[in-house]
Structure formats: structure tokens, C-alpha cells
Chain A
């Protein structure tokens, strides 16, 4: 994922760590060198102090006693006195074998049998003074002091890296808030995103988002208005038509008015189904839904359709109603059940039977509508969900919209509708599975 935070941290953290490493390295070198220089100064002052003393009093002084511990652990400086010809006159009690008088005055680093010595040879006087210090000790001291100096920096690195991370995180907080504000948008009540506490860089983005939201809101409202207007405009002439047939009845033969009325009924049904479909599409998806008692909705639906079943001479019944609750819009559930039931009742011949059941199947509630109609040719089982599609030769005057409406409502409520032909006899089984409950 292309995250701004990750991108920023991927750039900032390595850069920061690199500069911290450079500072650490430079610190280390600086402290090591200054420690060395300080110790060199001590050696030189000591040697020169002996030279000064010998100048006033030519008797050789006795250097303090020494042993290996003093030399290696404490870095005590050993002193040697040489004559002009390079013969050792007197030395500290802890002599270094194999060390000769250095010809040139100044500092020397000498390696004697794998042991490094720092040696200072004083300017030529008589007798000559040479002091030496353990290289190992000097290295240790220099390293130690460099470490001491570097330590605070090393501790600060993770702390500042964390602060850096926090800074990046906080700097991008407005983006998070924006995301939340957009996610919380309800299609029913689209509101402009707040412009307060938004960084200048994001202002144009939010500005265009708000204008998009405004247009979306307007589009939703326009569609809702259209459905309302269409409902009114389509129903008004139908009302007039029905009244006209009523007024004409005395002048019409029995069969004539019945045919006129059934034609108008069919038109009315089509209009109602079209409006239902349009309304379903215009209505925004409900975001927070309450738990719904599926059995109760199913009973309402059956109750509503009992008159149609009676009129068509079909035995409609509920064979099982196990308790089930789902989170969905009850209107969507009702629309699914109504349309599936109506479909079953319209395509089942008189004397047939429609059985409705609500059971638990595979851990989820499942509603099944079984009819004793002709079923649907297998190759058309998917096509019947298309709008205005009707299986030919059924002789039924449906609107061709019922299953399209049912599927639309099912999609919104998180249900899946499955149509299969019955295996035990002719007829259709419509199953509604609850994908989320």
C-alpha cells in the first residue's frame, strides 16, 4: 500500500539515522584524539620536569617504584635516564626490556614484542630523559572517554526517532479525520466536510470533495423527487381511467367491463412494480440496521398475500418457522418475501400448493418458497431475474419485474436468492439465504 506515513518515514528515518551515525563517529574520533593529546601533554611535562631538575642538581633522582599493575592498569609513566652514548643509567623499577634511547626527540610509537609503547624522548641534555606509557592503557582510556561522550547521543537516537515517527503521525492526523468524516457520510443526509483544522494542502481536496457531495446530494434528491412525481403522474390518469370504466359500466356488457378492468389492473400493477423498482434504486442503502425477526416479517408477507392465494385457488401455508434474527432493513426483507411469494402464486395453477418455510441451514437462516407450478427451464434460471424478462408460454400476465425487485432488495439486505427446480415434482424452489446475520 502506498501510504504517506510509510513514505515519509522511509525517507526521514534512514536520513536521520545516517546523520546520527556520522555525528557519533565524529564525536568518537574527536574525544579519542583529545584524550591522547592530553596524555601526551602529561608525559611531556613529566619528562621536562626531570630535565629541569637535573639541570639544577645533576644527581639522578629515584623514580617512584613501579610494577606491571601500575603500568598496565593505571597507565603510570615509567622514566629512564640515559647517558650520551645510549647506555641506560637508571630506570623505573619496572624496566621495559629491549627499549633503546630514541635518537630524535619527541613522541614515538614503538612495538616491542607485540606490546605497543608511547615514548617521549626529551631534548638532548645530559643525562637524557625518556618517559614511556603503555599503548594498551592509552587506547583503553581513549576508547572509554570517547564512549562516555558518545553515550548520550546514542541514547537520544531512538528517542528522537520515536519523536520523528510521532511527528509524522500527528502531521497526517487531518487525513485520518478526513477519512473518518467521509466514511461516516450517510447517503440519506450527505453533509459537507468540515474545513476547520484542515491543513492548507488538503483544503482544495476537501473543497472539491464538498462540491461533489453537494452534487451527489442534489442527484439523490432529484431521483427521489422524480420517483414521487412519476408516482403521482402515473397514478392520476389510472385513477381517472378506473372511474371512467365505473361510469361506463351501465352501458357495457358484463364481459366488456371485466376485460377493461383487468387491462387497467395489469397496467396498475406494472406501474406499481416500476415505482417500487425505481424507489428501491433511489433509496439509499441503510447503514445501521436493527435486528429483525425474520419469522414475523414472513408472517406479515404471507398474511398480505393470502387473498391472492384464495382468489387463485392455491393452498398457501407456512410449514416451518424457526426463530431467526438478522440485521437488515425490514422493508427490504418484506420486498424479497412479497415478490417471491407473489411470483410463486402467479405461476402456480389453480388447485396447487405453495409451501413457505424458515429453517436454519448451514448455520444461517434460510427461507424457502416451494410451489407446484411448471418450474423454470434450467437455462433460464438466471435470466428470469432480468427486468421485464418473462418465460414464454406460461400464459401469466406478470410485470416481469418481481424477481428483479426481489434480487435488488436482497442485494441491499445482504441476502442471496437462489432458484432451483424441484427434484421431487414439477415446481420451483426459491431459497433466500442470509449471508450476514
Chain B
């Protein structure tokens, strides 16, 4: 799979190209914004990794131009700038993700996979964390590769938790997801559902955070 790397730092460029090569990607590396824009315009890349502070043409300008042309190549911004404005500007201009340097390489690979999956249209229907995956299109669940029968409320609860792996959801937030408006809520419904799920998925699948709520562990990069 061909990637375009637009990065002006020689050290990062060399090492990132090598690391991505080891991970099975073939990488074209250009060192300034103008060259990057030209390479992107030729097309044929599965995704582009874009630094923001580039010589000759900034990453944000390049991004604007590419999206203005109707180029839909997934673009992942890699930057050492962590200003919220930069992040918002990058995403508003049409970047697919934003990764702050110094990143863990495994994190980059995971984000890259996610971006590529989204491009292929899987992202909307398939969510998951670790060994547990939910297919939202046909409302099925798989655990360790095997089909997992779930009730509607169990599915709704797992859906809520797996939307943002790692995030803690409170009882109220989970109740809102598993009950419709005006439905009578029994006081320990969430606990009962989670207890049942833990029995089948293992105690570590859903963690309780005292006084806060529940979370599913974030996928290990």
C-alpha cells in the first residue's frame, strides 16, 4: 500500500519511512509543501502523512488546496504543534486525523488503519475494542471471532461503551442509551446487564471506575 509522507525533518523522515516500510507500506517521502502538493496531485496514494510546519507551502495550505481540488485521499496530520486552534483548523480543513509528535509508532499504525478502514466505508458499521467487535449494520457481535448472542439492551450498552473505548460513562449516560424516553428504569438495571456481560466476556472486558461509571479498556496499540 503506497503512502505519501510529507515531512521536512530529515531524521524523522528517514526513520518513519524505514519503520513504515517494516510495517509493510511503501512510502514516497517529500520534504516540502510544493513537492508534497505535486505528489498528492498525481494521486495513487492510499493515504498521506502531513507535517504542518513545512517549507515553501505550509501543511494547512496544502490541505486546503487538496480538498479544494476534490482530492479525497485520507490525510493524517503529524505535528509537534499542540495548539487547540491548530488541531481544530486541521480537522476543519478536512484532515482525517491529527497525531501529536512525539507519537508512539504503534499508535500511528492504528490510526492509519482506522483512516484506511473509514475510506473503505467500514468505519460506520464496525466498532470494537480488543477482542470484541460490534457490527452496527446487522446488529451482531463477535467475541474472539465467535458470534455472541446479545439482547437489545446488552447490545445498546456495549454500543455506547465501544463508541469511545477508554472513556468512562456514568450510570445515567448508560441508562439513557438502553432505555427509551418515559420507560420505567429499574435502579440496578445497568449493573445487572454488566454483570451478565462480564460473565460471558470476562471480568476485564468492562471495568468499573468507582463513583464514575464503566469503561471498556482502550485497544492496545
A: residues with CB less than 8 A from B are: 228, 231-232, 235-244, 246-247, 250, 264, 268, 299, 302-303, 306-307, 310, 315-321, 355-356
Contact = CB atoms under 8 A, between A and B. Distances in A.
Contacts of A302: 168, 209, 212
B19 interface: yes
A315 B210 contact: yes
B81 A228 contact: yes
B83 A268 contact: no
Contact of A232 (B19, B81, B207, B215): B81
A310 to B, nearest CB: 7
Interface residues of B, number: 31
A238 B218 contact: no
Contact of B15 (A240, A316, A320, A355): A240
Nearest to B52: A232
B210 A236 contact: no
B168 A239 contact: no
Interface in B99-123: 100-105
A264 B105 CA distance: 13
B212 A299 contact: yes
Given A244-B15, A310-B217, A239 B103 contact: yes
Interface in B167-188: 167-168, 170
Interface of B: 9, 11-12, 15-16, 18-19, 22, 53, 80-83, 100-105, 166-168, 170, 207, 209-212, 215, 217-218
B15 A303 contact: no
Contacts of B16: 243
B30 to A, nearest CB: 17
A239 B167 contact: no
In the A-B complex, the 9 residue pairs with the smallest Cβ-Cβ separation, listed nearest first, are A317-B210, A318-B211, A243-B15, A235-B80, A240-B11, A239-B102, A238-B102, A239-B101, A232-B80
17 contacts: A232-B81, A236-B9, A236-B11, A243-B12, A243-B16, A243-B105, A247-B15, A268-B102, A302-B168, A303-B168, A307-B217, A315-B210, A317-B209, A317-B211, A318-B209, A318-B212, A355-B210
Contacts of A356: 211
Contact of B209 (A242, A243, A244, A316): A316
Contact of A303 (B103, B104, B212): B212
Contacts of B166: 306-307
Contacts of A299: 168, 170, 212
Contacts of B102: 235, 238-239, 241-242, 264, 268
A247 B103 CA distance: 14
Given A236-B9, A240-B12, A268-B102, A317 B212 contact: yes
A306 B80 contact: no
A228 B11 contact: no
A403 B218 CA distance: 28
A36 to B, nearest CB: 91
A250 B212 CA distance: 41
A304 to B, nearest CB: 9
Contacts of B82: 231
Contacts of A320: 211
B211 A321 contact: yes
A242 B105 contact: yes
Contacts of A232: 53, 80-81
Contact of B105 (A246, A250, A321): A246
B83 A228 contact: yes
Contacts of B104: 242
A247 B22 contact: yes
B80 A231 contact: yes
Contacts of B170: 299
A246 B217 CA distance: 24
B211 A319 contact: yes
A231 B207 contact: no
A318 B212 CA distance: 6
Contacts of B100: 235
B209 A306 contact: yes
Contacts of A243: 12, 15-16, 18-19, 105
Contact of B12 (A239, A306, A310, A315): A239
A262 B58 CA distance: 33
Output the residue of B12, B16, B18 with the most chain A CB within 10 A: B12
A310 B53 CA distance: 36
A319 B210 contact: yes
